[in-house]
Structure 1
Amino acid sequence: MTDAASLPGRPRGAVVSGPATARAVNVLAPNASAMTLDGTNTWIVAEPDSGLAVVIDPGPLDEGHLKKVMDTAESAGNRVALTLLTHGHPDHAEGASRFAELTGTAVRALDPALRLGDEGLAAGDVVTVGGLELRVVPTPGHTSDSLCFHLPADQAVLTGDTVLGRGTTVVAHPDGRLGDYLDSLRRLRSLTVDDGVRTVLPGHGPVLEDAQGVVEYYLAHRAKRLAQVETAVENGCTTAHEVVARVYADVDHALWPAAEWSVAAQLEYLREHGLIG
């Protein structure tokens, strides 16, 4: 979900399938909506000339899309060797089981219910396929099982729904928690400061070339929204719906039900920290 029109100083831009970095290619799923922006970005990541590829977030259960992902990898001379999931929401993971059948690959995810094969994913894991290195970065908050993948060779991070290419993401309460999400954003900021990450390869929306600026904006945006929610409560709002009507008045009303998830997470956070009763 996006609750801001665009990131400051960044054009909306068209989201298209194709190469984004030396190792990452996007195949855009045909599932555009208010919640998914232009659609889900399915990422094919491969070390040049290795002949092997990793697919991150096969997307919805759409046979045409899954075949296009396979064909795109094969046209570059790569066999899909592994499937990874950033989290379990259907627009990212629904097609994973079928894609695994088509490619004969395992599916690795943080949530055991989403895995196909013996291996999961955990903090500190390094996934290596054909010389490619992806470092697993736990980023709970949007959901409890959210992960990002650091691609050091391209100074990039694949963020799923933790950071979007346009607007900001929902904290999907009660599974998603704001405190976890803020910690995850700080973890991503450390990647930009300490590990040289420059490029965000998001789960929705265009590629972003100023990773540090984007994460700083997300942190500032969350702080602003939190202050607005606290003020709304002080002014008599008692439910998430009432808060959304006041704080998210500039957001498309079709997104208000999803905005209530984020507000519920914010209210929980404020109560936990003793800032509201």
Structure 2
Amino acid sequence: MTEAAALPGRPRGGALSGQATARAHCVLAPNPSPMTLDGTNTWIVAEPDSDRAVVIDPGPLDETHLQAVIETAERAGKRIALTLLTHGHHDHAEGAGRFAELTGSAVRALDPALRLGGEGLGAGDVITTGGLELRVVPTPGHTSDSLSFHLPADAAVLTGDTVLGRGTTMVAHPDGRLGDYLDSLRRLRSLTVDDGVTTVLPGHGPVLNDAQGAMEFYLAHRAHRLAQVETAVEAGHRSPAEVVASVYADVDRSLWPAAELSVRAQLDYLGEHGLIED
């Protein structure tokens, strides 16, 4: 889900498909919508001098897109040796099974139900396929199985739906939890402060070249929305639908169902912390 909000940092070049960093190339899936922005960003990541590549989020089950990802890698002289998933939503993971058939690559994910011929992923894991170094960063909140991938050599982090290239994302209640999401944003912010990450390679929308600004924006935006929800409840708006109509009046109504999921997560968070009565 996105909202009308301007993130710091302009997209590099302005194109969603193409080379984003020395090691990361984006292939945009043809599934644009209010929820997916211009479509899902499928990332091909590889060392420049290696003939093996890792694909992150093959995207929807769209044969043309999956073939385009393979052909893009082949034109660069690389074969796809491993597939990783940031989380299990269909716009990121539905095509993973077919992609595994086409490439012979294993699929690794946090959720065991999404794995195909590969191990799980968790905190502290490092992917080293083809000499590449990708560090697994657990970032639950959007969903419970959300992961990000730190690419130190490019001072970049691939964030899936945790941080988008435009607007903000939803907390997919009840699987997603706001407390987890805030912790994840702080974890990503620490990568920008302590590990020198400057670039966000998101699951949707353009590349952001001010990673720290993006994390600060997301944290401030969440705090602002949370305060708005608390104020709406104090004003007598008790149901999630009532709160959405009050707080998300600036958001396109087509996104209100997704906004309601975030509101439910916010109400749970406020109740857990004793800020509103259950």
Class of the TM-score when normalised by the shorter of the 2 chains: over 0.9
Structure 1 equivalent of residue 177 of structure 2: 177
Give the conservation status (yes or no) of the 8 Å contact 2:12–2:207.
no
**What per-residue deviation string (whole Å, max 9, x for no partner) do you get for residues 21-71 of structure 1?**
000000000000000000000000000121000000000000000000000
Cα offset, 1:16, TM superposition: 2.6
Structure 2 equivalent of residue 193 of structure 1: 193
Structure 2 equivalent of residue 124 of structure 1: 124
How far apart in 2 are the matches of 1:13 and 1:261? 34
How far apart in 2 are the matches of 1:272 and 1:210? 33
How far apart in 2 are the matches of 1:274 and 1:125? 36
Cα offset, 1:269, TM superposition: 0.1
Structure 2 equivalent of residue 107 of structure 1: 107
Give the conservation status (yes or no) of the 8 Å contact 1:56–1:86.
yes
How far apart in 2 are the matches of 1:8 and 1:126? 29
**What per-residue deviation string (whole Å, max 9, x for no partner) do you get for residues 225-257 of structure 1?**
000000000000011100000000000000000
Structure 2 equivalent of residue 157 of structure 1: 157
* Higher RCO (C-alpha 8 Å, min separation 6): 2
Give the conservation status (yes or no) of the 8 Å contact 2:11–2:206.
no
Cα offset, 1:5, TM superposition: 3.6
- AA partner of residue 245 (structure 1): A
Report SS of the residue matched to 1:130: helix
Report SS of the residue matched to 2:27: strand
Structure 1 equivalent of residue 202 of structure 2: 202
**What per-residue deviation string (whole Å, max 9, x for no partner) do you get for residues 113-156 of structure 1?**
00001411011100111110000000000000000000000000
- Aligned-residue CA RMSD in angstroms? 1.2
Q: 1:267 to 1:15 in 2, by over 3 A?
A: farther
Structure 1 equivalent of residue 249 of structure 2: 249
Q: 1:143 to 1:47 in 2, by over 3 A?
A: same
**What per-residue deviation string (whole Å, max 9, x for no partner) do you get for residues 154-198 of structure 1?**
000000000000000000000000000000000000000000000
Structure 2 equivalent of residue 54 of structure 1: 54
Structure 2 segments unaligned to the other structure (5+ residues) = none
Give the conservation status (yes or no) of the 8 Å contact 2:134–2:152.
yes
Give the conservation status (yes or no) of the 8 Å contact 2:11–2:207.
no
Give the conservation status (yes or no) of the 8 Å contact 1:84–1:109.
yes
Q: 1:179 to 1:30 in 2, by over 3 A?
A: same
Cα offset, 1:6, TM superposition: 2.6
Structure 2 equivalent of residue 67 of structure 1: 67
Structure 1 segments unaligned to the other structure (5+ residues) = none
Give the conservation status (yes or no) of the 8 Å contact 2:16–2:207.
no
TM-score normalized by structure 1?
0.98
How far apart in 1 are the matches of 2:16 and 2:204? 11
1:91 aligns with 2:80: no
Summarize the alignment of residues 13-32 of structure 1 with structure 2, pairs less than 5 Å apart.
14-32=14-32
**What per-residue deviation string (whole Å, max 9, x for no partner) do you get for residues 66-105 of structure 1?**
0000000000000000000000000000000000000001
TM-score normalized by structure 2?
0.98
Q: 1:34 to 1:79 in 2, by over 3 A?
A: same
Give the conservation status (yes or no) of the 8 Å contact 1:57–1:86.
yes
- AA partner of residue 20 (structure 1): A
**Count of aligned pairs between the two proteins:** 277
- AA partner of residue 140 (structure 1): P
How far apart in 1 are the matches of 2:94 and 2:66? 11
How far apart in 1 are the matches of 2:268 and 2:8? 28
Give the conservation status (yes or no) of the 8 Å contact 2:8–2:208.
no
Q: 1:120 to 1:110 in 2, by over 3 A?
A: same
